[in-house]
Amino acid sequence: MTAITAQAAVLHEPGRPMTIERIDLREPGPGEVLVRTTSVGICGTDLHFATGRFPYPAPTVLGHEASGVVEQTGVGVTGIQSGDRVLVYDQIPCGQCGNCLSGRMVYCTDTSTKQRQKTRLSLDGQAFRQYLGVSALADRMLVDAAALIALPEQISYTAGALLGCCLTTGAATVFNTAGTRPGQTVLVIGCGGVGLGAVQAARIAGAARIIAVDLEPHRREAAIALGATDILDPGTTDLAEAMASITGQRGVDVAVEVVGDPALAEAAFTTLAAGGQAVVVGMMPPGSRISLPSALVRHGRSMTGSVMGEVRTRHDIPAYLEMVASGRMVADELATSTWKLDQVNDAFDHAAGRHGIRTMIEF
């Protein structure tokens, strides 16, 4: 049996620099695929785990927003073959549980994927836990075939990677979780990759007004270029008062919070019109709480959380790929800086500093 190895950025301890090391991957088993990595986006989720804001077993290899080329397939894999261009996403549906069959596969109840993730990768002979079923910060990934979608030739690997997480999360939140309708008013708090995906989806859905909120001027400018009608700096503006002014006291129909800040989630709720919905996508700090004014609840306002916008992976992502191919959705331009794997720590610092929009690792 030929040994499979990969050059990877290994996180040995949260808050400490990653080190570039050679790891071992086992042969693809039934339903698994070996992918040569081409492009990886650094997601806010990766930053949280890298710093220890959220616990994860270490050592591990981070990265989950990725694209690549199929190198090898395991037994039982159909529809994918060596040489195929693919994007990878970290929601791995079993396709058989109640949630999967009802179209809510991001809430799949199958636990077998987590068991497989414990045996795929090893370092110095010791197996370690794969990160979110992907571990993309390596030049090879061993993943479930169910986590792959074909990447058309006209779509770049960079765009494919972004559709593996941030763009899809933002778009699906607006389309699926919020069910945004033409003529509605949409507020998006946070204009990184996810937020700009939400802004674009609101435009595509026919929202009459799209209000984008971010601390960074360059991100607010990007939001305007992608369809926002109004922009606000939350550092200098009270959101509830601003929304009342912009909407004529009515409030917004949909508010999407992608930062992961309890105070901003509460503010999002206070901006809602009667019957409006606030959707929290950002990862809140462990143990944090959100307090809502009861007087607003009785007028049909609601708040919900959402994982990856409740994306129906094999239905929605191909549709988003078509939107990118036709120019209705912008992807490549969101990748504003490119780094090599051996620059991974500098790249993470760059992303944490909110420079540009999306920081990419390219192989």
pLDDT band at 3 (very low <50, low <70, confident <90, very high): confident
CA 27 vs CA 20, 71, 119, 179, 274: distances in Å: 22, 11, 11, 42, 55
Q: Which residue has the tokens 């990447």?
A: 151
First to last CA, the chain: 26
Q: Which residue has the higher pLDDT, 213 or 116?
A: 213
Does the pLDDT value for residue 227 go beyond 60?
yes
pLDDT band at 295 (very low <50, low <70, confident <90, very high): confident
Rounded Cα–Cα distance for residues 106 and 113 (Å): 13
**For residues 118-141, average pLDDT:** 96
Q: Where are the beta strands (DSSP E) in 56-200?
A: 60-61, 65-73, 85-88, 121-123, 126-128, 140-144, 148-150, 185-189
Rounded Cα–Cα distance for residues 88 and 67 (Å): 6
Does the pLDDT value for residue 122 go beyond 90?
yes
Rounded Cα–Cα distance for residues 289 and 82 (Å): 47
**For residues 280-303, average pLDDT:** 90
What percentage of the chain reaches a pLDDT higher than 70? 99
Mean pLDDT across the chain: 95
Does the pLDDT value for residue 35 go beyond 70?
yes
The predicted-structure confidence for 243-273, as pLDDT tens digits, reads as follows: 989 999 899 999 999 999 999 999 999 999 9
Q: Could you tell me which of 66, 63, 52, 64 has the C-alpha nearest to residue 16?
A: 52
Find the helix packing angle between 239-247 and 262-270, rounded to 10°: 30
What percentage of the chain reaches a pLDDT higher than 90? 87
Instruction: Please give the structure tokens belonging to residue 111.
Output: 């636990």
pLDDT band at 298 (very low <50, low <70, confident <90, very high): confident
Q: Which domains does the chain have, with CATH numbers?
A: 4-151+331-362 (3.90.180.10), 170-306 (3.40.50.720)
The predicted-structure confidence for 37-75, as pLDDT tens digits, reads as follows: 999 999 999 999 999 999 899 999 999 999 999 999 999
**What letter would DSSP give residue 28?**
P
> What pLDDT is stored for residue 144 in this prediction?
95
Does the pLDDT value for residue 2 go beyond 80?
no
The predicted-structure confidence for 72-117, as pLDDT tens digits, reads as follows: 999 999 999 999 999 999 888 888 999 999 888 899 998 888 888 8
